[in-house]
Amino acid sequence: MTWQKIRGHDDVRRQLDAANARGRLGHAFLLAGPPGVGKRLFATEFAKALLCENPPAVLTACGHCPGCQQVAANSHPDFTVARTPEDKHELPVEVVRQFCRKLGLKPSRGRRSVGIVEDADDFNEESANCFLKTLEEPAPGSVLLLLTTGTERQLPTILSRCQVLRFHPLPPDEMRAVLADHGVGDAATLERLVRLGNGCPGQALALNDDALWQFREVAVQLIASAKPDPVGFAVKWMEFIDQAGKESAAQRARASLVIRLLMDFLQTTLRTALGNDGTDARATQLATRVGPDAVLTLLEACNHGDYLIDRKVQLVLVVESLAGKLCLA
Ligand SMILES: [Zn+2]
């Protein structure tokens, strides 16, 4: 692998190297860890290592050969990716069938073919069963990489046939390094993103957006005010979501990031209400007005709203309901 691209996850790397050294690399891996922790990047680099035509070392990609470059461009004939289509909330059986068919073919360039299921959380019964056949009787030389946010989201029949690779949140120093790699230079921004990223670079980088923080200011001001206006807030929030573009994935991501920042504000408010903080004037304002129990209820409402967004419930419904709760506490 072009390992230097990957920060952290040394334990996963060692696990693979050890299995490989014992000649027991296996043909199916379940990469489990929170969103944004780096599973997809790791899986792509792993695929490169498996398909590299000029590997400088065992399980290591050169990064330059046609094999490596075609994996990076997702155009390698022996490399395939299955993901949930934008307009679906499950991985349809047709997508999985096509994926399995491609992996069943004899590799055209080398001895291996590699398939990544990016949204293994989204299998439905039909697509999981279709996938199981390939998992039980893999084509010679094929390697499967499944990405999941948690092993508990997988069927036992899938779980038992995979080597589980667990991805843990990165420590703050690694987070700082990744963010610096991505050009986050301002020290205050860096620390803010490290704090909110929960050890997941993908989450931290998603929050590195000035427009988002500007909207946070507007939203917090509204919620903390003496007489919040739920309708006005919902309208402003939807306008902000629409600015993310027409693609619904981008809109959902933006709605969810707002919730994330609001939850951070509510957590400060809760600490303030419990007498453990007093640094934020608007948190103090809201804490004084509603009290700790109501803040807890709001945090739960935010969590639920985020879940609904993940389940692809219509955004306007989620936003209106949540804006109402946040303003009428
Ligand atoms: Zn290569």
Distance 49 CA to ligand 1 centre (A): 7
The CA dihedral of 263, 264, 269, 271, to the nearest 10 degrees, is 120
Cα–Cα distance, 211 to 243 (Å, whole number): 10
Distance 106 CA to ligand 1 centre (A): 20
- Evaluate the CA torsion angle 253, 178, 79, 136 in order and state its sign: negative
Distance 295 CA to ligand 1 centre (A): 53
Cα–Cα distance, 121 to 229 (Å, whole number): 37
Let me know: does 29 contact 39? Beta carbons within 8 Å: no
Render the burial of 165-192: b for 16+ CB within 10 Å, e for the rest: bebebbeeebbbebbeeeebeeeeebeb
Strands (E) across the chain are located at 28-32, 79-82, 113-117, 142-148, 163-166
Q: Domains in the chain, start-ordered, CATH in brackets?
A: 3-166 (3.40.50.300), 209-327 (1.20.272)
**Residue at token pair 């508990």:** 152
Predicted structure pTM score: 0.87
Cα–Cα distance, 93 to 134 (Å, whole number): 13
pLDDT per residue of the chain (329 residues) written in tens, 0 to 9: 466 678 889 899 999 989 888 888 889 999 999 999 999 999 999 999 999 999 998 899 999 999 999 999 999 999 999 999 987 889 999 999 999 999 999 999 888 999 999 999 999 999 999 999 999 999 999 999 999 999 999 999 999 999 999 999 999 999 999 999 999 988 999 999 999 999 999 999 999 999 999 999 999 999 999 889 999 999 999 999 999 998 888 899 999 999 999 999 999 999 999 998 888 999 999 999 999 999 999 999 999 999 999 888 999 999 999 999 999 86
CB atoms within 10 A of CB 226: 6
Helices 210-224 and 248-273 cross at an angle (nearest 10°) of: 50
Distance 110 CA to ligand 1 centre (A): 12
Distance 52 CA to ligand 1 centre (A): 4
Two tokens, residue 173: 């120093």
Distance 19 CA to ligand 1 centre (A): 21
Let me know: does 272 contact 281? Beta carbons within 8 Å: no
The long-range contacts involving 268-272, CB below 8 angstroms and separated by at least 24 positions, are: 269/295, 270/295, 270/296, 270/299
Distance 72 CA to ligand 1 centre (A): 10
Nearest CA to 7 among 176, 127, 131, 121? Answer: 176
Distance 278 CA to ligand 1 centre (A): 55
Distance 83 CA to ligand 1 centre (A): 25
Distance 88 CA to ligand 1 centre (A): 35
Q: Is 82 helix (H, G, I), strand (E, B) or coil?
A: strand
Let me know: does 304 contact 325? Beta carbons within 8 Å: no
Distance 111 CA to ligand 1 centre (A): 14
pLDDT at 111: 86
Query: 43 to each of 10, 31, 67, 170, 176, how far by Cα in Å?
Result: 14, 8, 15, 17, 22
Listed residues: CB within 5 A of ion ligand 1: 52, 61-62, 65, 68
Distance 133 CA to ligand 1 centre (A): 31
